[in-house]
Chains A and B, each alone.
Chain A
């Protein structure tokens, strides 16, 4: 079953075509990785899917519904959440508040001007649940900027999870992590993949090959290959463009 599909999706920056007529379909309950060299258009592609940028051409269908041009805050409500390549959390707020803000948005309490946050029992309970699920319990009171880098990376994904998405887009979740933390993150991503559809941008090929059900290779804005990890490893064009003859 398809969950998200792009048709002819194109984004230009001046003369540069960052995303070039991409047709890509993601299967539900699979982990799809997007790989490609720097500047291949991976993050731009994510920005188009999540409404952070508007496409110049083409369409995005989520669960067969056209969501092209929807603003980011609406796309989250429709069920697509994302994490960010560069850490993007509320540094000044506590871990708990970081998660709580996302749960509050998901449950639609944001526009309540005259109630107290303490009275939102469902929001608070759900926030504790998520903190437990991402394994950061006990650190609820810590200001986010004082968490370790690895924990902040997890928190970045936790905030996205708190939006209760059907599809989660992870933009280089292991970037900047030490090798021990990378292992922890890989396990975490695999545990998420059990009940979520994931699309992951990742540079580390050993991780990509071990966790993915499906891989799409972007090169200069175009999808040059798609397939299972085994197929991608054997594809000559991919080897030339990206793997450097692995």
Chain B
């Protein structure tokens, strides 16, 4: 019992969760506000899921904004046309991300490196173009307005109003915990280890019996599911869904977050990266309208001085063999 407690305390996950639990009460001290906290959580889910593909499988997608956007539109279309509610539209948004990811993934599973990257851009631009042009469904240039954060609860028992941003923060926080634990388990599972083996040496991974295109396809689909979920939450946060997030230049944001935080070598990199990215953007844009310039310089400094990202000082550890002997 005591050992379990020590193990939990030493584990970084609970500390991350505690930090985000009290974050809304810390934000005002640094000039932030709760809305910003929600954004950090949503982008963290997006970036953590994206990192299954980039950091663990080693596949650079420049088109994940498309699946984020698909999640947002799927939620919007569900809520406005099919069913008033929260859970079902969010689920549909997640599945829409996964579904379109799975279809696109079929074309990508045998590709690597630059060909993979270029194809992701091509596909995302295709989706962006459709969302831009399909006025009747997506609202085209104006986007899809009128998405509501409806109350969540169990009928007859309790009901939580989501219009209140603090309530919505904890709603997203709840989903963030589930996603983080799930992704943690996936990347540390036999499957997750296989993804890393593929990243390091795909030829040998094939030679020892892994059907590597299948693994890459699953990795791609999973990351798109989390993109879809994050996108639907983002639509709820903004009360609208827009095409702009689907443009490939927007897909660069999630890559920057992962790299900035150190996602290539540390599980928590994407969370730190999202936090730094969003808070800095907010702070800088209140100071000057040329904030992108400062932003770019800061990003370049990170790439030059700590190329593996802020958390690269704490690298992923491999399992210690002596702990694995059965019977010990």
User: Given A104-B190, A113-B189, A117-B319, do A73 and B211 touch, yes or no (CB 8 Å)?
Assistant: yes
* Interface set, chain B 180-238, CB cutoff 8 A to A: 185-186, 188-194, 196-197, 200-201, 203-212, 215, 218
Cβ–Cβ contact B209 & A124, under 8 A: no
Closest chain B CB from A10 CB (angstroms):
23
Q: Which residue of A lies closest to B193 (CB)?
A: A117
- Of the listed stretches B92-100, B171-179, B244-252, B320-328, chain A binds B320-328
User: Given A118-B319, A118-B324, do A73 and B209 touch, yes or no (CB 8 Å)?
Assistant: yes
> Total number of A-B contacts with CB less than 8 angstroms?
121
C-alpha spacing A163/B203, complex, angstroms: 15
C-alpha spacing A106/B319, complex, angstroms: 20
Q: What mask results when residues 136 to 156 of chain A are scored 1 for a CB within 8 Å of chain B, else 0?
A: 000011000000000000000
Cβ–Cβ contact A77 & B209, under 8 A: yes
Q: What mask results when residues 69 to 109 of chain A are scored 1 for a CB within 8 Å of chain B, else 0?
A: 00111101100011010001111111011001110111001
Q: What range describes how many residues of A lie at the interface?
A: 35 or more
Set of chain A residues within 8 Å of B320, measured between Cβ atoms: 141
User: Given A71-B211, A89-B201, A141-B321, do A110 and B191 touch, yes or no (CB 8 Å)?
Assistant: yes
Cβ–Cβ contact B208 & A105, under 8 A: yes
C-alpha spacing A122/B327, complex, angstroms: 11
Set of chain B residues within 8 Å of A231, measured between Cβ atoms: none
Q: Is the interface of B mostly helix, strand, loop or mixed?
A: helix
Q: Which of B186, B188, B322, B327 contacts A117 (CB 8 A)?
A: B188
Report if A50 contacts B (CB, 8 A). Answer: yes
Q: Which residue of B lies closest to A92 (CB)?
A: B200
Cβ–Cβ contact A162 & B208, under 8 A: yes
Q: Which residue of B lies closest to A96 (CB)?
A: B321
Closest chain B CB from A79 CB (angstroms):
11
C-alpha spacing A97/B327, complex, angstroms: 19
Q: Which residue of A lies closest to B189 (CB)?
A: A113
C-alpha spacing A105/B190, complex, angstroms: 9
C-alpha spacing A140/B201, complex, angstroms: 19
Cβ–Cβ contact A114 & B189, under 8 A: yes
User: Given A90-B200, A117-B188, A125-B325, do A73 and B193 touch, yes or no (CB 8 Å)?
Assistant: no
Q: Which of A105, A113, A118 contacts B210 (CB 8 A)?
A: A105
Residues of A whose CB lies within 8 Å of any CB of B are: 50, 52, 71-74, 76-77, 81-82, 84, 88-94, 96-97, 100-102, 104-106, 109-118, 120-122, 124-125, 127-128, 140-141, 159-160, 162-163
A-B contact pairs, 12 of them (CB 8 A): A52-B207, A71-B206, A73-B210, A84-B204, A93-B200, A104-B194, A110-B215, A111-B218, A112-B190, A117-B324, A118-B324, A124-B321
- Sample of 9 further A-B pairs with CB below 8 A, known A52-B207, A88-B204: A81-B207, A97-B318, A104-B190, A113-B186, A113-B191, A114-B189, A115-B189, A117-B193, A159-B208
Residues of B whose CB lies within 8 Å of any CB of A are: 185-186, 188-194, 196-197, 200-201, 203-212, 215, 218, 318-327
